[in-house]
Homo-oligomer: A and B are copies of this chain.
Amino acid sequence: MDDRYFEDWKVGERLETGARTLSEAEIVRFAREYDPQPFHLDPEAAKRSPFGRLVASGWQTTALTMRLIVESGIFGRRGGIGLGVDELRWLKPVYPGDTLRVVSEVESMRASPEKPSGICRFRLMTLNQDDVLVMTHVAIVLVPRRPAGSGA
């Protein structure tokens, strides 16, 4: 997918990304920089937390989901501009060694004739290696419309 325009998407279209494994070192490194809570930082302290063991920051799950989406090339080489997110839910913990992948489905699309971009709402499902849904959210993305005269 080189260039991908608003006109190339359709409601209900489903795509799946590749997968990535999150190591304990990556979880701790992210936590030190962005979410320094005991259950993300230290396996010993995490044992005494409600999780019972080390878990990834939910924000690292969102960031890794983004990476998988970008790597998949779903949005073409110019990228997608995120306007926002609705209904993000962290459903299950992500543990060291978990392998995540993302399934994306176009929920709705709208465009105004006079605007150079349309808005797509993508329902994103992040799953682990056991096909358990660990996170869902709706990404609201600005997608450029096909320039006039650039062919079908």
Q: Are A85 and B88 neighbours in the complex by a CB distance under 8 Å?
A: yes
- A79 is contacted by which of B30, B39, B63, B66 (Cβ under 8 Å)? B39
- A89 is contacted by which of B37, B62, B83, B88 (Cβ under 8 Å)? B83
Minimal beta-carbon separation of A115 from chain B (angstroms) = 13
Q: Which A residues, 74 to 100, have Cβ-Cβ distances below 8 Å to chain B?
A: 78-79, 81-90
Query: In the complex, A81 Cα to B66 Cα: how many Å?
Result: 22
Q: How many residues of A contact B (CB 8 A)?
A: 34
- Residue on B with the closest CB to A55? B81
Q: Are A59 and B63 neighbours in the complex by a CB distance under 8 Å?
A: yes
Q: Are A34 and B67 neighbours in the complex by a CB distance under 8 Å?
A: yes
Query: In the complex, A57 Cα to B67 Cα: how many Å?
Result: 11
Q: Are A35 and B50 neighbours in the complex by a CB distance under 8 Å?
A: no
- Residue on B with the closest CB to A36? B70
- A87 is contacted by which of B62, B70, B86 (Cβ under 8 Å)? B86
Q: Which residues on the B side are within 8 Å of A67 (C-beta)? A: 33-36
Residue of A59, A78, A86 contacting most chain B CB atoms (<10 Å): A59
A-B contact pairs, 13 of them (CB 8 A): A30-B63, A33-B63, A33-B67, A34-B63, A36-B70, A49-B78, A49-B79, A57-B63, A59-B63, A62-B62, A82-B90, A86-B86, A88-B88
